[in-house]
């Protein structure tokens, strides 16, 4: 408890003279980074991009309606006309050929085919002969079915939902990564501020001890060598104070830059708690990580994409066919009303195909390559799963170790502070050498630095667990962002 009060006093002393001091906790710094950092804005932009890609994918399965036209299609020129005897004459052309076509189409996921329909009206004006002709297709309905080809709609329906879910979880992961980095900048500044106050305190203590030593030297109780040693310690303390101030300013600038903090003035950081009310096990974290982490979704996606590539390679074997069938009505007349009276039946059935006669094993090689890539993808995913599991297990172990390290460092800090107080008193009474006092100085300072470092490692491990599992083990709920 004394240790905590001492460090809080240090942080308050660092900026007590500045009225514009901004005092921040670790949670506030993390929240500022999530809201104002460039990294968080990049993550939000990527999320928005993925959302619109998802909307584009969804639109592929909805009916498509479009209006096409040429209005007007006027031209006045000379055009070459081939004569029966093989000669060419250039004849004047002066006409308007306008057309409107309203069509719809709907893809069929199960088969990869397309249902389509259209209605069309065309008007031709011959200005040289002063006549007008209309042509219309009141309606036509048809179906187009690829045969022996890759069904993109079916595979997209398997892959795109995985990609969208992965992007949503990746956004949460990116925001938690922001928290990890923000905590690192927080503790870098916290340690720099503690080092600065230590340097200030050490300089003051060195000057006080030197004053005592000067009196002892005047009485002949200590040697000239000890006086020189204290003068050297004083110079070291002044240099340390300058270096600590520089490091503190740099750490403060780094924190501002990362969090997007615009407010000027000093920053004083509150010491985070050394305990977190949560219990975790490797099995529990693994379960949540495989349910929530974007990498876990990517494991499934990568295998499905490799399976899609196999299907695509087999579909591109050179044997392709397209079956098209439609029926409807059409008519032509000199009056627009007449084109819709007693239209003529229109039908079409067509099968187009290409059959490779000799491709020198190209299609077979593509299929074999895709199959080998599928096998490789499965091995890579299996390896990635093992690495991921090992990473999660290691992080849980590290978190438990850091809890213990914080406790041990706190005890060491308390002991070193008490030892320094005793050494300081003994030196004032002439019962301790300057060398032993210097050692007590160093041990006290290092113990305090070790405590801040251990605390930073502890909270870093905590945010790493959140980053890997995307789960809040304090609240026992999944992490979510708007």
Q: Would you state the pLDDT for residue 363?
A: 81
Pull the structure tokens for residue 176: 């938690």
Q: Would you state the pLDDT for residue 438?
A: 67
Residue 244: HSE in the Cβ half-sphere, 13 Å Cα cutoff: 23
Angle formed by the axes of helices 152-218 and 224-259, to 10°?
160
Q: Tell which phi-psi region holds residue 86, choosing left (phi > 0), alpha (psi between -120 and 50) or beta.
A: left
Is the distance from CB of 313 to CB of 370 less than 8 angstroms? yes
Q: Tell which phi-psi region holds residue 80, choosing left (phi > 0), alpha (psi between -120 and 50) or beta.
A: beta
Question: Among 446, 457, 298, which residue's Cα sits nearest to residue 377?
Answer: 298
Question: Among 270, 242, 247, 187, which residue's Cα sits nearest to residue 450?
Answer: 187
Burial annotation 71-94 (CB, 10 A radius, 16+ → b, else e): eeeeeeeeeeeeeeeeeeeeeeee
CATH topology of domain 2-57+155-304+371-478: Outer membrane efflux proteins (OEP) (1.20.1600)
Sign of the Cα torsion 106, 107, 111, 117 reads positive
Mean pLDDT in consecutive groups of 10 residues from the start of the chain, 482 residues: 44 48 91 93 94 93 93 90 89 92 93 93 90 91 92 93 95 95 95 89 79 71 72 82 91 92 84 88 92 93 94 83 91 85 88 83 86 94 94 92 88 82 72 68 81 92 93 91 76
3 state SS of 178: helix
In the chain, where does the domain assigned CATH 1.20.1600.10 lie? 2-57+155-304+371-478
Q: Would you state the pLDDT for residue 448?
A: 87
Percentage helix, strand, coil for the chain under 3-state DSSP, each rounded to 5: 60, 20, 20
Pull the structure tokens for residue 217: 């030297």
Is the distance from CB of 281 to CB of 396 less than 8 angstroms? yes
- Report the distance separating Cα 190 and Cα 268, nearest Å: 8
């Amino acid at each position: 408890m004394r240790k905590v009060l001492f460090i809080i006093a240090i942080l308050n002393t660092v900026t007590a003279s500045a009225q514009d001091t901004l005092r921040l906790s670790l949670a506030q710094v993390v929240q500022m980074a999530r809201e104002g950092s460039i990294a968080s804005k990049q993550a939000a932009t990527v999320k928005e991009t993925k959302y619109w890609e998802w909307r584009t994918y969804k639109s592929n399965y909805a009916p498509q309606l479009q209006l096409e036209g040429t209005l007007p299609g006027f031209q006045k020129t000379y055009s070459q006309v081939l004569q029966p005897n093989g000669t060419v004459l250039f004849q004047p052309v002066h006409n308007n050929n306008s057309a409107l076509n309203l069509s719809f189409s709907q893809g069929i996921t199960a088969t990869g085919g397309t249902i389509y329909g259209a209605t069309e009206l065309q008007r031709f004006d011959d200005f040289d002969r002063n006549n007008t002709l209309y042509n219309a297709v009141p309606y036509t309905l048809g179906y187009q079915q690829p045969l022996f080809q890759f069904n993109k709609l079916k595979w997209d329906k398997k892959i795109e939902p995985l990609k969208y879910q992965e992007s949503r979880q990746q956004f949460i992961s990116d925001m938690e990564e922001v928290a990890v980095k923000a905590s690192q900048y927080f503790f870098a500044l916290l340690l720099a501020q503690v080092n600065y106050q230590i340097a200030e305190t050490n300089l003051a203590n060195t000057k006080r001890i030197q004053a005592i030593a000067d009196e002892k030297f005047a009485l002949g109780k200590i040697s000239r060598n000890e006086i020189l040693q204290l003068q050297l310690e004083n110079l070291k303390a002044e240099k340390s104070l300058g270096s600590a101030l520089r490091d503190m300013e740099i750490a403060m600038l780094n924190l501002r830059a990362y969090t997007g903090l615009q407010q000027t003035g000093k920053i004083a950081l509150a010491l985070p708690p050394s305990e977190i009310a949560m219990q975790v096990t490797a099995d529990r974290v693994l379960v949540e990580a495989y349910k929530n982490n974007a990498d876990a979704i990517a494991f499934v996606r990568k295998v499905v994409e490799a399976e899609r590539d196999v299907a695509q390679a087999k579909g591109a074997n050179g044997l392709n066919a397209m079956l098209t069938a439609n029926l409807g009505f059409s008519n032509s007349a000199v009056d627009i009303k007449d084109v819709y009276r007693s239209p003529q039946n229109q039908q079409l059935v067509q099968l187009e195909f290409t059959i490779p006669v000799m491709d020198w094993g190209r299609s077979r090689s593509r299929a074999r390559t895709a199959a080998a890539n599928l096998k490789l993808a499965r091995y890579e995913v299996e390896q990635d799963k093992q690495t991921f599991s090992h990473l999660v297990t290691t992080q849980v172990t590290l978190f438990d170790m850091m809890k213990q390290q914080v406790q041990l460092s706190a005890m060491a800090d308390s002991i070193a502070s008490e030892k320094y107080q005793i050494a300081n008193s003994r030196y004032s009474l002439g019962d301790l050498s300057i060398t032993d006092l210097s050692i007590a100085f160093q041990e006290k300072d290092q113990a305090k630095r070790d405590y801040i470092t251990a605390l930073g490692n502890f909270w870093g491990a905590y945010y790493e667990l959140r980053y890997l599992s995307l789960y809040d083990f304090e609240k026992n709920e999944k992490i979510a962002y708007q």
